[in-house]
Amino acid sequence: MHTAKDVAEYMFSQFEIKDILYQETIVYKIKEEFGESFVYTNPNGNLAIDKKVLKEFGVLTKGIVVWERSYLAWRKLKENEKYKGRQID
């Protein structure tokens, strides 16, 4: 049986391939690979990643990955950027 950490590790492996991870793409891959218990439908009617998975992903990527809200994607922290938190507008 898979855990939230397993899914987060999968997300990280997908991130390492391109240095960017679009939420819309990965959420469907998670559903396909791991099942519906790791995704949910948010109030806007969109498929979203379970919060336990996101917490584990945050632990794995702290200081090297940020959430780029304008792209709805996680990306690698750029060399000239200082880590100020998980989200960049």
**Per-residue pLDDT tens over the stretch 33-55:** 999 999 999 999 999 999 999 99
| Stretch 42-69: mean pLDDT | 93
- pLDDT for 15: 92
* Residue 86 pLDDT: 59
Query: What predicted TM-score, i.e. pTM, was given to this entire model?
Result: 0.87
- 3-state DSSP helix/strand/coil % of the chain, to nearest 5: 45, 20, 35
State whether the Cα torsion 68-74-80-81 is positive or negative.
positive
Calculate what percentage of the chain has a pLDDT beyond 90: 69
Percent of the chain past pLDDT 70, that is, above it, reads 90
Query: How far is CA 82 from each of CA 16, 18, 22, 56, rounded to the nearest angstrom?
Result: 20, 21, 22, 22
